[in-house]
Amino acid sequence: YEYVNIKLDKVGGLTEAIRMVQFAQDRGIGIMVGCMIGTSLGMAPAFLLAPYASVIDLDAPQTLSSDRIPPITYADGVMQPPPPELWG
C-alpha cells in the first residue's frame, strides 16, 4: 500500500492513531487523515495529526445541519485550528 487512511473513530481514538502514524512512517507508507460523520469536537483530535499527513479530509462538520458551539471554522476549504473553548 502507498497510503493508510487513519480515521480516529475506526482506530480507537487519538492514542491508537498516533501509533498508526508511527507505524506508517517507519515503513515509508503515506498518511491520510480522514473522518466519519461527526461534529467539530470529533474532528479536533484528528487536526493534531494533520502535520503528519499529506492528504487530509476532515470536513464532516460542514455536512451537518447543526454543530457544536463553538464550531471549527473552515476558510476557503481549509480547516482552521479548533477554538480552545471547543475542548471544554
- Tens-place pLDDT, residues 75-85: 998 999 999 99
Contact yes or no for 84/73 (Cβ under 8 A):
no
Tell if the pTM clears 0.85, that is, is over it: yes
Contact yes or no for 82/44 (Cβ under 8 A):
yes
Res 17: pLDDT: 97
- Tens-place pLDDT, residues 45-58: 999 999 999 999 99
Q: How far out from the chain centre does Cα 22 lie?
A: 16
**CA-to-CA distance for 17 and 68, rounded, in angstroms?**
23
Res 14: pLDDT: 96
**CA-to-CA distance for 38 and 61, rounded, in angstroms?**
6
